[in-house]
Chains A and B, each alone.
Chain A
């Protein structure tokens, strides 16, 4: 149980394009979803927290207009990297929670911006 999927697992795009990453809780309803970014050899850094039906809460230093988060249902959240640039290349991981502090992590999405 408590499986979280992400799609796509890997994406390569040209600079200036937008990329959408999906995060789904497959066998449970997630009241809260989290988006993390992980650079090589570094730990996960929280980007934003989103609750179903409401606006996401972004961490300090994360541009909300660049990283658009939509949490339209209890099983789906999307992260759109708008006008991506090479410095946005990273490993993006989502997690989902049912209300407590236990987070179930997705397998991650590797974004490479050329």
Chain B
């Protein structure tokens, strides 16, 4: 069964600090891995997407890494801002094209405080 596990479940950090969120997956056949940001009461918004051959991908203050051998990914947030408070969801795609299936992690709830 395809699974995506994220840790920690929730995290509170001070504004300006960095943090790293973790994602472990058992998905086959692996196609790609995405990190989404979901604000409360809103739909997910894509931050990064990585395929099997990519080790790292950045989007502003967000940097995602992927280790396809250990089936782990991380999302690093640099110099956090209050607006970073949201749920971050790791989503792994299996298969390709119209036959692809997404497996969602349960998310990490990040709260950035003053």
Contact = CB atoms under 8 A, between A and B. Distances in A.
Interface residues of A, number: 23
Given A43-B89, A108-B41, A101 B106 contact: no
Contacts of B93: 101
Of the candidates B32, B93, B102, the one having the most CB atoms from chain A within 10 angstroms of its own CB is B102
A64 interface: no
Contacts of A6: 43
Interface string B36-80: 100001111100010000000000000000000000000000000
Contacts of A99: 97-98
Contact of A107 (B36, B42, B97, B104): B42
A107 B100 CA distance: 22
Interface in B71-114: 89, 93, 95-98, 100, 102, 104-107, 109
A101 B43 contact: no
A105 B43 contact: yes
A43 B105 contact: yes
Interface string A93-109: 10100011111011110
Interface of B: 31-32, 36, 41-45, 49, 89, 93, 95-98, 100, 102, 104-107, 109
Interface of A: 4, 6, 31-32, 41-46, 91, 93, 95, 99-103, 105-108, 110
9 contacts: A43-B106, A43-B107, A44-B89, A101-B31, A101-B32, A101-B97, A101-B100, A105-B45, A108-B42
